[in-house]
Amino acid sequence: EQPSAPSPIAAPLRELPWGQLNFLHTTDTHGWHGGHLQEAQYSADWGDYISFAHHLHKRADDDGSDLLVVDTGDRVEGNGLYDASNPKGKYDLDIVKQQSIDVLTVGNHELYQRNTSDREFNKVVPDFKNSYIASNLDIYNPKNGERTPMAQRFRKFTTKNQGIRVIAFGFIFNFQGNANNTVVQPVEEAIKEQWFKDAIDDKEVDLFLVAGHVPVRDSPEFDAVYKAIRDSNWDTPIVFFGGHTHIRDYRKFEKKAWALESGRYMETLGFLSISGLGTGKKDEVEAAASPDYKRLYIDNNLYSLYHHSGKNASTFDTELGKNVTKAIHEARKKLKLDHAYGCAPHDYWLSRTPYPSDDSILTWLENQVIPDTFNFTKIPSIILTNSGAIRFDIFKGPFTIDSTFLVSPFTSGLRTIKDVPYSAASKVLQLLNNEGQILLPDLAAVSQTDRVDLDQLRAPFAPVNEDTFFHAHTSHAHDLALEHHQTFLGRKKDGDKDKDDTPQVPGYTTKDDAGTDGDDTIHQPIKFYQVPNCISSNVSFPAPEYAAAYGPVNFRPVHISTPEKVDIIYNEFIENWILLALEYLGEKREKKDTSAVLEGKSMTDVISDWIKKSPDWACPKEKDV
């Protein structure tokens, strides 16, 4: 772990369900390869993950089983280690490549910006030459402009010790927000291609491995792949590894097909094992009628990693793991990620507190950051931003260069549409928030264009279902993390009357299709709240008029005047939605009617500029960083 990372907190653990074929799975790491430096529960880094995988590989070699490592995309955007360098990923991509990964896919965040996907093609695909799979993604080759598959469409390989014959695919969900140098082929189309039909027709295969930047539940894309495989190969076991919705989840398709999703931000190392698979060595190993699938969501901290690898502080680090940890530290220093712009006076939460409330990031943006930033305009304005642009909580204490990218890494600039009648402009928020009589799907349906993607506007934590949301959602063991010391929270022993065995570490309490025993760490549950898709602030509006209603002392407003026209200011990412809402409200505007505001600064710039200037966020002298 990084030198400044808080020590992990001991807690009761469930055991690793080791089997014949074992998997480690990461997804949606979003650049958090240095681990969580303010949360002890997730404080291990990519170097530790490398050491951990090494020990599990050794275990597999020793007992003749196998281990495969999978990553399902969104490795970029969301942490200073990736976002603060120029070019982005200057250090991070070389750090990630040190892990030996068997199956790797793209995510939507690798495709938003042309530069990112070009770099993915020119660097990351060659770095993971044998394992990068792009079953439904093409790119226009930056060298010659020719459309070409981003990487191989699938791969067939045999596991090292057992000789299990695996066919692996790598999909991305039907994403539409990519830059125009890549082409995402709808999954339902890709599986009609001859190469796919031939691959699933192969009878010399013991396991289909479908990796994808695709949610495992309510997933038309994985449902289609599952059906296609079963239509041509009714019995061969299938395993899915998914992502994108940032949750821990495990779904049963049927007894020979399960799907794992392993959270987000390097909080979770997903583990899955299958026993009872057939192998190429037919004489030696007979396939079971019903292979046994098991899963464990490992909290990414050294306490858990030592335990599951049977190592300790003096035996855990491998040479490579240590070097990668060091490289992360050096990169963080070069990027000055610990430099503080100010100090947060208290914690601000994205979804761990109701909205609105005093400790909600969205309320803080709406009531303080946005009004203070835009009050220069003097023109009545409605400023809108999507809550999805905010990615993480702010903890009390130093707000650093790194924090800026944790909270909002995006470069989308702020834009304006001028002189919109207030009667229409004031209804845009309600439409975008899916409130009232007209709902987002209705809006999308009236659109004559394909420029909107419903999923894109969704709030960041739109739950797959209530259960998954409240039970499987992320945790922040921050309160304990900040104490920087180890507290033993083991289970009660016989005769140990005065200790109770109530879990003390707050975190995931996942409920999935296999039950409630999936989290390796037995956590105290955390409650999460829904947040709206978008928030808005009115700035430079006429002051309300007051009248003395109850005599000279008690005044109350009698008339709140509204402007006739306003400027709408918004984060470019939601521009298509704003245009669509205005069109629906009878105020059609086009892209040419929009222009940059604040010289195209992003929400990230707005937040850090505000923090630098705000006296309430000045760091106490003795704690200056």
Alpha carbon distance 350, 553 (integer Å): 40
**Is 404 exposed, middle or buried, given 0-12, 13-18 or 19+ CB atoms closer than 10 A?**
buried
47 or 243: whose CB is closer to ligand L45E5XJ5? 243
Provide the 8-state DSSP code for 357.
S
Q: Which token pair is 505?
A: 């570490």
Residue 356: asked if its preceding bond is cis (omega within 30°), the reply is: yes
Q: Which token pair is 146?
A: 């020719």
54 or 352: whose CB is closer to ligand L45E5XJ5? 352
306 or 508: whose CB is closer to ligand L45E5XJ5? 508
Question: Can residue 368 be called a binding residue for ligand L45E5XJ5 (CB under 6 A)?
Answer: no
Question: Cα separations (Å) of 263 from 26, 34, 71, 106, 142?
Answer: 8, 16, 12, 16, 33
**Is 608 exposed, middle or buried, given 0-12, 13-18 or 19+ CB atoms closer than 10 A?**
buried
68 or 214: whose CB is closer to ligand L45E5XJ5? 214
Nearest distance in Å: CB 74, ligand L45E5XJ5: 6
Alpha helices in 207-278 (DSSP H): 220-232
| Touching ligand L45E5XJ5, residues 499-518 (CB under 6 A) | none
Nearest distance in Å: CB 112, ligand L45E5XJ5: 5
Comparing every residue's Cβ against ligand L45E5XJ5, the nearest one is 388
Residues contacting 549, CB < 8 A, separation 6+: 555, 556, 558
387 or 537: whose CB is closer to ligand L45E5XJ5? 387
248 or 294: whose CB is closer to ligand L45E5XJ5? 248
Report the length, in residues, of the chain. Answer: 625
74 or 605: whose CB is closer to ligand L45E5XJ5? 74
7-15, 108-116, 155-163, 612-620 -> range binding ligand L45E5XJ5 (CB under 6 A)? 108-116
Q: How far from chain centre, in Å, is Cα 616?
A: 31
Question: Can residue 174 be called a binding residue for ligand L45E5XJ5 (CB under 6 A)?
Answer: no
Residues contacting 508, CB < 8 A, separation 6+: 248, 263, 268, 297, 299, 472, 473, 474, 475, 519, 521, 523
Nearest distance in Å: CB 416, ligand L45E5XJ5: 17
Residues paired with residue 249 on neighbouring β-strands, in sequence order: 261
Question: Can residue 531 be called a binding residue for ligand L45E5XJ5 (CB under 6 A)?
Answer: no
∠ at Cα 3 (39, 481), nearest 5°?
20
269 or 389: whose CB is closer to ligand L45E5XJ5? 389
Nearest distance in Å: CB 106, ligand L45E5XJ5: 12
Beta strand pairing call for 238-242 and 257-262: parallel
Nearest distance in Å: CB 595, ligand L45E5XJ5: 19
Nearest distance in Å: CB 313, ligand L45E5XJ5: 34
| Touching ligand L45E5XJ5, residues 556-585 (CB under 6 A) | 573
244 or 352: whose CB is closer to ligand L45E5XJ5? 244
Question: Can residue 108 be called a binding residue for ligand L45E5XJ5 (CB under 6 A)?
Answer: yes
Q: Which of 334, 340, 269 is nearest to 33 (CA)?
A: 269
Which helix (DSSP H) or strand (DSSP E) does residue 384 occupy? strand 381-386
Strand, helix or coil for residue 170: strand
| Touching ligand L45E5XJ5, residues 190-249 (CB under 6 A) | 244
457 or 582: whose CB is closer to ligand L45E5XJ5? 457
Alpha carbon distance 230, 252 (integer Å): 15
Question: Can residue 440 be called a binding residue for ligand L45E5XJ5 (CB under 6 A)?
Answer: no
Question: Can residue 159 be called a binding residue for ligand L45E5XJ5 (CB under 6 A)?
Answer: no
| Touching ligand L45E5XJ5, residues 63-82 (CB under 6 A) | 74
Nearest distance in Å: CB 587, ligand L45E5XJ5: 24
171 or 253: whose CB is closer to ligand L45E5XJ5? 171
How many amino acids of this chain bind ligand L45E5XJ5 (CB under 6 A)? 13
CB 9 within 8 A of CB 480: yes
79-87, 104-112, 292-300, 344-352 -> range binding ligand L45E5XJ5 (CB under 6 A)? 104-112
28 or 317: whose CB is closer to ligand L45E5XJ5? 28
41-49, 106-114, 499-507, 590-598 -> range binding ligand L45E5XJ5 (CB under 6 A)? 106-114
Nearest distance in Å: CB 461, ligand L45E5XJ5: 9
| Touching ligand L45E5XJ5, residues 380-419 (CB under 6 A) | 386, 388-389, 410, 412
Report the residue from 49, 112, 461, 528 that binds ligand L45E5XJ5 according to the rule CB under 6 A.
112
112 or 226: whose CB is closer to ligand L45E5XJ5? 112
Question: Phi and psi for 568 in degrees, rounded to 5?
Answer: -100, 130
CB 406 within 8 A of CB 359: no
Q: Which token pair is 515?
A: 């039950």
| Touching ligand L45E5XJ5, residues 447-476 (CB under 6 A) | 456, 460
Alpha carbon distance 7, 505 (integer Å): 13
Question: How many C-beta neighbours within 10 Å does residue 356 have?
Answer: 14
Residue 503: asked if its preceding bond is cis (omega within 30°), the reply is: no
Which residues contribute to the site for ligand L45E5XJ5 (CB under 6 A)? 74, 108-109, 112, 244, 386, 388-389, 410, 412, 456, 460, 573
